[in-house]
Structure 1
């Protein structure tokens, strides 16, 4: 079976391509960068380095091909006889590739499933909509499936420059499971290692957001306050670890109330999240995990969305409020979102910033929690200072 993979980046190569080749399938990448496509065709392989607490192991992914996204005719021909299409380009870029997918689907005789490896509850329907815009009225698009996919693996970096002809190594953790939204599928999927098809896709998306994603972001923002550079060193700080564990439990209680304990899990799920964040082999920088704080503070995203879910369950999300407040201090001069957020805080204050970015009223329970934490953090803060204690909110 041939799979066409849109995106030759960290998830496309570091997860999808590896699992497909491990399952005995052919992998054809569609790369935005023509030099990346040329490199993969010339070398024919790359390495995935899986880093766990017990060490690392390397998997050589070979027997691959690639097509440049500029070669629209060739892309359509590859799709015409493929067994599955996978996207790993980011939700904001799905519209950009929809025309290529539509052109390929228009050439097909048999139906096909498109799996959006985008970690989003809406990626499948969104991609279907964008593809439909490129097809004539009456085209039988319902024959084809468009399903969202939730991935477990964190692929933190790519080593090597394809433009310089250097060997490529994708570094990630050892988690291989990916969860497919059953409602969007048409027919059956070929066997792929790590795949779980579920009719509870929304619940699984919320579990990842409310536990792992919220904890990951909280570690980054609290770690930045205390001057850490890497996630695995920040989570070893006893105060940060305690706050992040409390964030996980606040989210878990909200999940249990909404989706049941089967989805929310137990103490072992909390420990697993902490263990993943603690992984020193990934050497994951806080600047990467905390990037785009404006997006991560939205009402439907990992911190505020989790807090509102916890509130609905009768839980006071004070540690999530602390994480939101810490995000307002996130300082990364290379990140336009962080710069814009810091400017808004400096000119409008924390309360108005929380209202604008988080979509919560300052008089609401969570709005007050986040604002109170921001006020406590602000006392004694100056640019360049490092927070010495989360308990007493003292700065150096």
Structure 2
């Protein structure tokens, strides 16, 4: 069995690539990073290290690389033979991947099923990729091509290894795939197939991602630089729990998760955040602040719901203010946010960008 994975970064190699390898796939990584691609084609293997005390190491062998811009013939051949195609490139890059992938899909002539899955930190990312692909092709793709959405979760901290291909990852991972959109009978071991993906997408988004944002933005206001430093402060841990208690209200009111289930999930997430072998830079965790303050993302969506339902949302209100104070000159979104606030004020920015009503904005502004 053969797989093509777009995005040979740490997530691609340390998470998706490892799962595919463990399922017996020969993985071809497609990327524009010449150094990584050359290393893959030289070594044809790398090691995934589990970041914990006495963590195990796993050799990922039989891998190849293809440069998406320089090797179109190689890429076309890889796509034509693939049983599965995955991505981990960032949701904003998916339209670019679609332009690259679409011509090769149109030329694919085989009866074997093909599943194309965007493994991105975004809601229904495969739908985004599918729409972009169909905008590039003039005909309908065969019915044996499936586009299941998925939800992925694994912390891969910033790192520097002696071998450019080796990756350190946390022990925990979760990959959930939309069952009804999957084609063919061959499924992936270690992956959870579900009929309704949205509960799992939002549980991860409003627990892991909201929690990470809470640590980053509150931790920065206290002068910390890493997740580990922030999580050593009981004030941060206490605030994090308050945030996740509020997002639990959203999740248990909208889905079938019980409070007990969500409490257990939160305990697992907090233990992950406290893992000293996973400590990440708060500037990196907090970057992309405009996206994180958008209406349907990790902070604003549960906040608005709780506000409208007259439920407690004080910790999420504070989180908006902490995010507005985020100071990272290396984050283009933070620079843009600052400019927009200077032009329109906090109220104008939150009204336009986050689409909040005046009452909630006033609550936020008086929250800290």
Q: TM-score, normalised by structure 1?
A: 0.87
- Per the alignment, do residues 181 and 15 of structure 1 end up closer, same or farther by CA in structure 2, a change over 3 Å counting? same
Where in structure 2 are the equivalents of 1:67-216 lying within 5 Å? 67-70=66-69, 71-106=71-106, 107-110=108-111, 111-137=113-139, 139-160=140-161, 166-192=163-189, 194-216=190-212
- For the pair 1:370 / 2:367, whether they are aligned, the reply is no
Where in structure 2 are the equivalents of 1:259-270 lying within 5 Å? 259-262=255-258, 265-270=261-266
Q: Is the 8 A contact 2:36 2:165 kept in 1?
A: no
Find the aligned partners of 1:327 and 1:2 in 2 and give their Cα distance.
Answer: 43
Which structure 2 segments of 5+ residues have no match?
none
Which stretch shifts more, 69-78 or 219-228? 69-78
Q: Is the 8 A contact 1:233 1:278 kept in 2?
A: no
- Per the alignment, do residues 13 and 158 of structure 1 end up closer, same or farther by CA in structure 2, a change over 3 Å counting? farther
- The Cα offsets for residues 336-367 of structure 1, whole Å up to 9 and x where unpaired, read as 1112223333454332232233210222xx32
Which stretch shifts more, 268-277 or 339-348? 339-348
Give, in angstroms, the shift of residue 291 of structure 1.
Answer: 0.4
Find the aligned partners of 2:268 and 2:178 in 1 and give their Cα distance.
Answer: 24
- The Cα offsets for residues 294-319 of structure 1, whole Å up to 9 and x where unpaired, read as 11001100001121233355422110
Q: Is the 8 A contact 1:251 1:309 kept in 2?
A: no
Give, in angstroms, the shift of residue 144 of structure 1.
Answer: 1.2
Give, in angstroms, the shift of residue 99 of structure 1.
Answer: 2.9
- For the pair 1:334 / 2:334, whether they are aligned, the reply is no
Question: How many pairs align?
Answer: 365
Q: 2:291 aligns with which of 285, 290, 295?
A: 295
Where in structure 2 are the equivalents of 1:46-61 lying within 5 Å? 46-52=46-52, 54-61=53-60
Partner of 1:244: 240
Give, in angstroms, the shift of residue 64 of structure 1.
Answer: 0.8
Partner of 1:221: 217
Q: 1:231 aligns with which of 222, 227, 250?
A: 227
Find the aligned partners of 2:138 and 2:121 in 1 and give their Cα distance.
Answer: 29
Find the aligned partners of 2:334 and 2:65 in 1 and give their Cα distance.
Answer: 35
- Which runs of 4 or more aligned residues in structure 1 lie more than 4 Å from their structure 2 counterparts after TM superposition? none
- Per the alignment, do residues 157 and 118 of structure 1 end up closer, same or farther by CA in structure 2, a change over 3 Å counting? same
Three-state SS of the structure 1 residue aligned to 2:158 is strand
Give, in angstroms, the shift of residue 158 of structure 1.
Answer: 4.5
Find the aligned partners of 1:44 and 1:264 in 2 and give their Cα distance.
Answer: 45
Partner of 2:357: 361
Give, in angstroms, the shift of residue 160 of structure 1.
Answer: 4.5
- The Cα offsets for residues 191-238 of structure 1, whole Å up to 9 and x where unpaired, read as 34x211111211111101111111110110000000001112212212
- Per the alignment, do residues 141 and 120 of structure 1 end up closer, same or farther by CA in structure 2, a change over 3 Å counting? farther
Three-state SS of the structure 1 residue aligned to 2:366 is helix
Q: Is the 8 A contact 1:48 1:169 kept in 2?
A: yes
- Per the alignment, do residues 345 and 133 of structure 1 end up closer, same or farther by CA in structure 2, a change over 3 Å counting? closer
Give, in angstroms, the shift of residue 142 of structure 1.
Answer: 4.1
Q: TM-score, normalised by structure 2?
A: 0.93
C-alpha RMSD of matched pairs (Å): 2.0
Three-state SS of the structure 1 residue aligned to 2:298 is coil
Find the aligned partners of 1:294 and 1:266 in 2 and give their Cα distance.
Answer: 28
Where in structure 2 are the equivalents of 1:18-37 lying within 5 Å? 18-37=18-37
- Per the alignment, do residues 99 and 68 of structure 1 end up closer, same or farther by CA in structure 2, a change over 3 Å counting? same
Find the aligned partners of 2:276 and 2:365 in 1 and give their Cα distance.
Answer: 33
Three-state SS of the structure 1 residue aligned to 2:55 is strand
Q: 2:270 aligns with which of 262, 274, 277?
A: 274
Three-state SS of the structure 2 residue aligned to 1:59 is strand
Three-state SS of the structure 1 residue aligned to 2:148 is strand
Find the aligned partners of 1:102 and 1:344 in 2 and give their Cα distance.
Answer: 37
Find the aligned partners of 2:180 and 2:271 in 1 and give their Cα distance.
Answer: 32
Give, in angstroms, the shift of residue 254 of structure 1.
Answer: 0.9
Which structure 1 segments of 5+ residues have no match?
377-396
- Per the alignment, do residues 203 and 114 of structure 1 end up closer, same or farther by CA in structure 2, a change over 3 Å counting? same
- Per the alignment, do residues 68 and 343 of structure 1 end up closer, same or farther by CA in structure 2, a change over 3 Å counting? same
- Per the alignment, do residues 176 and 320 of structure 1 end up closer, same or farther by CA in structure 2, a change over 3 Å counting? same
Which stretch shifts more, 204-213 or 29-38? 29-38
